[in-house]
Structure 1
Amino acid sequence: MHDVQSKNHPFYETTIETKPIFEGRMIALQVDTVRLPNGETATREIVRHPGAVAVLALVGGKMLVVEQFRKALERVQVEIPAGKLDPGEAPEQAAVRELEEETGYRARSIRHLQTFSTSPGFAEELIHLYFADDLEKGEVHLDEEEFLTCEAITPEQADAYIREGRIYDAKTLLAVHLWRAYRQSGEL
């Protein structure tokens, strides 16, 4: 078995050239020319992203979610609290910060569940998913350009939101599935 992280893996693509295309507040876009395993060359369009955090937060046996408009999809969605990492910020700190900013709840303790890629075909973004169920009520501190509402939903509401397409994003779908497992086994 080959080490999937290794430059010695037979599928590894060696970067020959990187051409920056765009650099914005949240993302950067570059086009890489790569050498394929068969010796040919190809181009890869890559979105650079600082990473993000998301929190599966439970209060009173219900999951905290926020509803907000997502311009890229032109739709309002229900999602677990989440946000982008600030420069130099540790994921755990960002998770605690985002949870409080968006929901008004402070996590007295938080536990890392999983880190996963969102769109590995073209983006390097990683989401660090955390779990918190030891919460205390604080105050919401939304960013200036952030408009959302927060609610605590039951498992039945989560299932209905999925059926209705209100819960549509991968991180929230994963969180709902993990919550189901947690309710059945008591473990994550």
Structure 2
Amino acid sequence: MTRPQDQDARWISHGERPVYENEWITVGLADVEVPSGERFEHHTVTMKPAAMTVVLDDAGEHVLMSWRHRFVPDVWNWELPGGLLDPDETPAETAAREVEEETGYRPRRLEHLVTFEPMIGMVRNAHHVFLTRGVERVGEATELNEGTFEWVALSDVPELIAKGRITNSGSLVGLLHVLALSGPDARASRAE
């Protein structure tokens, strides 16, 4: 379904100023006007874009994930390899670099799945999600604080999500995308 942009429903920004910034995050205040004509200051948060990869084994039956603790929400969960884009990198270059640094594996080929904004109401933080089918072992992981990576059965992922063992937005989006592509309806449509 395609919808034309409706200029009458557009929020208008009359400017934005930073109130706090460092190399990781910028918190700002934007002077916005909403469609009703009301005008007010709205908080904004800008963070570096990120890239993550769904790494499948050659058979497509297991996904490489890290069991790790995230101190801000104080949760343990399974996550895909990924990280923030360096200024001189494309999202695909970041995805490949992060897989190799965090796991010691090199992706054979990356396929872009989706780019999304995890908190679109106030935060600018594009997440680029990739898929690789098969990897080559090239050494040991060089990033040692990224948790413990294991091959997790793809068939276990829905239960892990249901039990709150996968809570990271990038991991959820990537894994749900792959599961949708591999479901019975997707297999039937590819066979036609």
Could you say whether these structures have the same fold, taking a TM-score greater than 0.5 normalized by the shorter chain as the test? yes
1:66·1:102 contact (CA, 8 Å) conserved in 2? no
Using structure 2 for the length normalisation, give the TM-score: 0.85
2:4 pairs with 1:2 = yes
Alignment match, 1:54: 52
CA offset at residue 140 of structure 1? 0.8
Moved more, 119-128 or 37-46: 37-46
Instruction: Give the length in aligned residue pairs.
Output: 181
Q: Which whole-Å CA distance do the structure 2 matches of 1:122 and 1:159 have between them?
A: 29
Is 2:64 the partner of 1:64?
Answer: yes
**Matched letter for residue 56 of structure 1:** V
The one of 21, 24, 34 equivalent to 2:22 is 24
Opposite residue 148 of structure 2, the aligned amino acid is T
Which residue is 2:156 aligned to? Answer: 157
- Which runs of no fewer than 5 residues in structure 1 stay unpaired? none
1:105 deviates by 1.0
Normalised by the length of structure 1, the TM-score is 0.87
- The residue that corresponds to 1:13 in the other structure is 11
- In 2, are the aligned partners of 1:53 and 1:127 still within 8 Å (CA)? yes
User: Which structure 2 residues correspond to residues 96-115 of structure 1 after superposition, within 5 A?
Assistant: 96-115=96-115
- Please give the root-mean-square deviation of Cα atoms over the aligned residues, in Å: 1.9
Q: Deviations over 1:61-99 (max 9, x none)?
A: 210111222122111211111111111311010000011
Query: Does the residue aligned with 1:63 lie in a helix, a strand or coil?
Result: strand
Q: What amino acid sits opposite 1:2 in the alignment?
A: P
Task: Tell whether 2:139 aligns with 1:141.
Answer: no
Name 2:89's counterpart in structure 1: 89
Q: Percent identity?
A: 26
Partners of 2:102 and 2:146 within 8 A in 1: no
| 1:14 partner amino acid | I
Between 159-168 and 80-89, report the one with greater CA deviation.
Answer: 159-168
Structure 1 position 29, deviation (Å): 0.6
